[in-house]
Amino acid sequence: MRRDRGNAAGIAMVLVLAWLVVYPVLVVVGEAADGTALRAFVSRPAEWHALWASIWISLASVGLAAIIGIPLAFLFEWFDFPGRRLLGALVALPVVLPPLVGVIAFLFLYGESGLVARAVQGGLGLEHAPWRLQGPGAILLVHAYSMYAYFYLLTRAGLARLDGALLEAAQSLGAGRRATFVRVTLPLLKPSLAGAALLTFMTALGSFSAPYVFGGGFRVMPTQIVATKLNGDLPLAMVETVALCAVAIAGLLGVGLAEAGQHGALIALGKGAAPRRRTVRGHGARTLAAVAGWALALTLLLPHLTLVLVSLVPYATWTTQALPPVLSLGNYRRLFREAERLGPLLNSLWMAAASTAGAVALALVAGWLVVRRRVATGRLLEGLLVLPWALPGTVFAIALATAFSVSRPFALRWVLVGTGVILPLAYLVRNLPLTGRAVLAGYRQLDPALDEAAASLGAGRRATFLRVTLPLLGPALAAGASLAFVTALGDFVSSIVLYTYDTRPIAMEILSSLRLNELGIAAAFGVVLMALSGLVLGIGARR
Amino acid sequence: MTAYLEVVGATKRFGETRAVDQVSFQLERGEVLALLGPSGSGKTTVLRLLAGFETPDAGRVVVEGDDVTAVSPARRRFGMVFQHYALFPHLDVGENVGFGLRGRADAATRVARALELVDLGGFERRLVHELSGGQQQRVALARALAIEPRVLLLDEPLSNLDPSLRERTRRELRHLIARLDITTIFVTHEQEEAFDLGHRVAVLHEGRLEQLATAEDLYERPATLFVAGFVGRANVLRGAAARAFGGKDGHVAVIRPERLRFADGGVAGVVRERRYIGATALYLVESDAGDRLEVLAEPDAAAVGDRVYLETTRVISLAEPEVPR
């Protein structure tokens, strides 16, 4: 009886999630099956260029991110030097900052009128800016800079799990440092590296901010889709969306196949294995590591420091000088005083909060059904929760824009586009994987005996949930929710497709400020976004 | 006769603590040494110094007249079996055992032979996580033996096995070591294991080597009060109580419980507790002077509350340690 009710709830939950996550995409696929649009897509070289660009840019991003991220991980995990802990945390920062913030920070630092270009121009007495930050090179630069953190974090995690005794065993069997690295360390890190590669590939494939701002005439699939949609050629946009989906799925399958080739359990056998060793070398090496670490961290954080600097420059005061002549807090004052600027800030805040609350609620129910009630549809529920992660943001934006632009209540479609509901809904869908994964992991770590203990002490189901389950899920929930909130707060890709003037979020305001050459305002928004993100993540990470 | 393996004044500090303090000993070829001590006594560090995973702050390790103190673990050819075995999870059994044989033409034969030695012939293609704990332990042993090491090092070799499996594995290990005639050093915190496997036993305490001797000498002729108390049960008596049993003046008297017996005369007391063990019983006797003594005797020798008299057949007299422990 209880089991049946649980399964009924499981099926209901599957239907809700499927309506949110799968149905809109299916609508797009249906509309893409349009002969004219398909022919147009196949016959236009521009489409093939964009598709190819998406693929090679993503692959190159993986390579560059690996080149930066993996050595960094080894540096911070295996060497001890002054400031290691602080720097180690700072270096991971780009992964949690909104992509658009990173992009404009790069613009202000390395762009043609950025700090570095001005310095070079002034230093060499050039008449024009020495370079333009545009095209695939610029996109790759930004990608490498913001995505190395995946390799860094996952490699570090892999190294931290590595059993030091395995390395010693290799040495005692005659393997030198290099042989130990090649024959033991690298094979054991393979799952971490594959995970990082997949994460980077998917992020780069869905990346919108960098190609949008730096692409110029160079289009990748996400920017191509949005451009096509803005041109009003909806059927073609659908076909493009489906093509992008196909690449994403191919990427997933590729890594899946590579992983399936090897036996699953790469975890060391001994529990409580020896702590991994931290190589502390001589004085000279220590100093070298410290200098390298600080230099790297500074380089990586320089764009964000530049953003802070630009945010202090009042409108039209910085013309040809290498450094801004006037600094003031004027931009921040304008940001909070002028209604049309404060509006987007408040919009972003409430939409992020609402979407996070929704995503948390859905994840809690799904997690409870999957882990505690062990409903028959458990695997399916888990798959639906993480599906939005597997598809680029543009795909969902287009899917929601398509599915909810007509009123067909019997097909479960309503007109939501143009209302205040659609953006929070889009954020919610994008956030489901973040909250879902956190809640599922949290639930799995909970000992079911705790529920039974609470029950045996007289607590009802509600009291057990409020007094035992929720407090214990707290840390995982806070981490997932804060990440979801920050993602929604800084969202650009869904917003540009779905926003209305009344619900325009921070990202759109940053973009329009850039267009009006209000660089200081754009930077101030970026700094506020950064500060809010840092604050929320800091709260979320606290135990 | 020169020693096969020699450790001279080995010292290792971690920060302020001396994990190993001036440890010296010599082993002959084929000898088996047990390093016995409580946790934190430095026994594992001594093993790691021998393996080369730690470099001593002072002292030398010499094998076959060859000073290997500065030689890396990879070039030392000391086989090591780790406490948790440290089998490579990404390699199968054969690849694990053959890890140290890379590039040798006869690797496959050697792997097969090493696996035969530990009774795992034909296990080459099995995955390590499919094996039972006992089989994993034997793979680890085969892997260390495959390189034909000069010295075999074992870190708590039996601690991860089920108690039921431990005794059999210990016997097999003893036979294997004897058959290969390989110089072996192993770490343990279990006295029975040390006595059974080791030709000699080194007792370590706070980084110092307290005594290195045969099991019998350790038990019957402990060099220090620590050894007397750590190896086996001991009644430690001082002053008048020591003299009452015939101990030397100014010395500590150590009496094993089985060396006390109930008699018609002697030190008087009352039986406070009786713990039945099976073949014998352990009695706790409180003497009239207030000393508590453990007595091992026949199960029906006395009952709780009985008034008894105690005699001893053997007193070990030891000097009072300089720093009371």
pLDDT tens readout for residues B198-246: 999 999 999 999 999 999 999 999 999 999 999 989 999 988 888 888 8
Residue B49 lies in a domain: yes
Q: How far, in Å, CA of B62 to CA of A525, rounded?
A: 69
Nearest CA in chain B to A180: B74
Mutation choice for A interface testing from B99, B137, B154 by most A CBs within 10 A: B99
- ipTM for the complex? 0.82
Task: Tell me which of A415 and B9 has the higher pLDDT.
Answer: B9
Shared domain for A432 and A493, answered yes or no, is: yes
Shared domain for A430 and A468, answered yes or no, is: yes
The total domain count for chain A is 2
The reply to whether A168 touches chain B by the CB within 8 Å rule is yes
Of B191, B213, B229, which residue is a domain's last?
B229
Shared domain for B194 and B243, answered yes or no, is: no
Residue B293 lies in a domain: yes
- Inter-chain CB proximity A266 and B90 less than 8 Å: yes
Q: Report whether A473 contacts A442 (CB < 8 A).
A: yes
Of B78, B83, B102, which is closest to A172 when you measure between CB atoms?
A: B78
Residue A301 lies in a domain: no
- Inter-chain CB proximity A265 and B80 less than 8 Å: no
The edge-to-edge listing of strands for the beta sheet with B307-312 is B260-263, B307-312, B267-276, B281-287, B292-297
Residue B200 lies in a domain: yes
Residue B17 lies in a domain: yes
Tell me: the pLDDT tens digits for B11-66? 999 888 889 999 999 999 999 999 999 988 999 999 999 999 889 999 999 999 99
Chain A contact set for B128 (CB, 8 A):
269
Per-residue pLDDT band at A280 (split at 50, 70, 90): low
Shared domain for A18 and A83, answered yes or no, is: no
Shared domain for B224 and B247, answered yes or no, is: no
- Name residues 271-310 of chain A within 8 A of B (Cβ): 271-274
Shared domain for A335 and A235, answered yes or no, is: no
Shared domain for B119 and B185, answered yes or no, is: yes
The total domain count for chain B is 2
pLDDT at residue A2, rounded to an integer? 60
Shared domain for A69 and A140, answered yes or no, is: yes
- Inter-chain CB proximity B80 and A269 less than 8 Å: no
Shared domain for B125 and B245, answered yes or no, is: no
Structure tokens at B141: 């042993």
Tell me: the pLDDT tens digits for B96-117? 999 988 888 899 999 999 999 9
Mutation choice for B interface testing from A162, A166, A173 by most B CBs within 10 A: A173
Shared domain for A29 and A52, answered yes or no, is: no
Residue A269 lies in a domain: no
- Inter-chain CB proximity A174 and B78 less than 8 Å: no
Tell me the shortest Cα–Cα distance from B273 to chain A, in angstroms: 39
Shared domain for B253 and B222, answered yes or no, is: no
Residue B325 lies in a domain: no
pLDDT at residue A270, rounded to an integer? 44
Shared domain for B112 and B199, answered yes or no, is: yes
Shared domain for A6 and A138, answered yes or no, is: no
Of B51, B136, B160, which is closest to A172 when you measure between CB atoms?
A: B51
CATH number at A224 reads: 1.10.3720.10
Q: How far, in Å, CA of A526 to CA of A306, rounded?
A: 11
Task: Tell me which of B324 and A171 has the higher pLDDT.
Answer: A171
Residue A78 lies in a domain: yes
Structure tokens at B126: 């099995």
Mutation choice for B interface testing from A177, A259, A269, A271 by most B CBs within 10 A: A269
Residues on B contacting A at a C-beta cutoff of 8 Å: 51-53, 72-80, 82-90, 99-100, 102, 127-129, 136, 143-144, 147, 160
Name residue B324's amino acid: P
CATH number at B13 reads: 3.40.50.300
Shared domain for B221 and B302, answered yes or no, is: no
Name residue A374's amino acid: R
Query: How many residues make up chain B in this entry?
Result: 325
Of B73, B84, B129, which is closest to A171 when you measure between CB atoms?
A: B73
Place of tokens 């762009």: A111
Chain B contact set for A187 (CB, 8 A):
90
Query: Is the per-residue pLDDT at A171 higher than 50?
Result: yes
Shared domain for A461 and A342, answered yes or no, is: yes
Shared domain for B180 and B98, answered yes or no, is: yes
- The whole-number average pLDDT for the span B293-317 is 92
Shared domain for A242 and A98, answered yes or no, is: yes
Query: How, if at all, do strands B183-188 and B32-36 pair?
Result: parallel
Residue B324 lies in a domain: no
CATH number at B311 reads: 2.40.50.140
The reply to whether A263 touches chain B by the CB within 8 Å rule is yes
Shared domain for A59 and A184, answered yes or no, is: yes
Q: Report whether A469 contacts A453 (CB < 8 A).
A: no
Tell me: the pLDDT tens digits for A378-411? 888 888 888 888 888 888 888 888 888 888 887 7
Nearest CA in chain B to A174: B74
Chain A contact set for B139 (CB, 8 A):
none
Q: How far, in Å, CA of B246 to CA of B228, rounded?
A: 18
Per-residue pLDDT band at A265 (split at 50, 70, 90): very low
- Inter-chain CB proximity A174 and B74 less than 8 Å: yes
Coil, strand, or helix at residue B210?
strand
Residue A287 lies in a domain: no
The reply to whether A183 touches chain B by the CB within 8 Å rule is yes
Shared domain for B182 and B272, answered yes or no, is: no
- Inter-chain CB proximity A172 and B74 less than 8 Å: yes
Looking at every residue in chain A, the average pLDDT score rounds to 84
Longest dimension (CA), chain B: 76
Residue A285 lies in a domain: no
Residue B40 lies in a domain: yes
Tell me the shortest Cα–Cα distance from B129 to chain A, in angstroms: 7
pLDDT at residue A274, rounded to an integer? 39
pLDDT at residue B1, rounded to an integer? 54
Rg (CA), chain A: 25
Task: Tell me which of B34 and A34 has the higher pLDDT.
Answer: B34
Shared domain for B211 and B297, answered yes or no, is: no
pLDDT at residue A100, rounded to an integer? 87
Inter-chain CB pairs, A–B, below 8 Å = 94
Per-residue pLDDT band at A277 (split at 50, 70, 90): very low
- The whole-number average pLDDT for the span A186-200 is 88
Nearest CA in chain B to A190: B90
pLDDT at residue A427, rounded to an integer? 92
Chain B contact set for A278 (CB, 8 A):
none
pLDDT at residue A413, rounded to an integer? 83
Of B229, B255, B281, which residue is a domain's last?
B229
Chain A contact set for B143 (CB, 8 A):
169, 173
Q: How far, in Å, CA of A49 to CA of A62, rounded?
A: 20
Residue B68 lies in a domain: yes
Place of tokens 């948790």: B84
Tell me the shortest Cα–Cα distance from A275 to chain B, in angstroms: 12
- The whole-number average pLDDT for the span A8-30 is 87
Nearest CA in chain B to A263: B90
Shared domain for A226 and A358, answered yes or no, is: no
Nearest CA in chain B to A178: B74
Name residue A460's amino acid: G
Query: Is the per-residue pLDDT at A278 higher than 60?
Result: no
Q: How far, in Å, CA of B294 to CA of B256, rounded?
A: 8
Q: How far, in Å, CA of A120 to CA of B316, rounded?
A: 87
Query: Is the per-residue pLDDT at A361 higher than 80?
Result: yes
Structure tokens at A71: 């050595």
Q: Measured in whole angstroms, how far is the alpha carbon of residue A273 from the centre of its chain?
A: 33
Nearest CA in chain B to A277: B53
Query: Is the per-residue pLDDT at A271 higher than 60?
Result: no
Of B162, B194, B229, which residue is a domain's last?
B229
Q: Which domain holds residue B201?
A: 5-229
Shared domain for B224 and B240, answered yes or no, is: no
Q: How far, in Å, CA of A355 to CA of A371, rounded?
A: 24
The lowest-confidence range among A2-6, A94-98, B142-146, B258-262 is: A2-6
- Inter-chain CB proximity A173 and B99 less than 8 Å: yes
Query: Is the per-residue pLDDT at A96 higher than 80?
Result: no
Q: Which domain holds residue A409?
A: 1-33+312-316+326-543
Tell me the shortest Cα–Cα distance from B222 to chain A, in angstroms: 34
Tell me the shortest Cα–Cα distance from B146 to chain A, in angstroms: 9
Structure tokens at A348: 């972003």
The secondary element (H helix, E strand) that includes residue A195 is helix A186-206
- The whole-number average pLDDT for the span A140-150 is 89
Query: Is the per-residue pLDDT at A195 higher than 60?
Result: yes
Shared domain for B73 and B171, answered yes or no, is: yes
- The whole-number average pLDDT for the span B152-162 is 90
Shared domain for A407 and A482, answered yes or no, is: yes
pLDDT at residue A266, rounded to an integer? 47
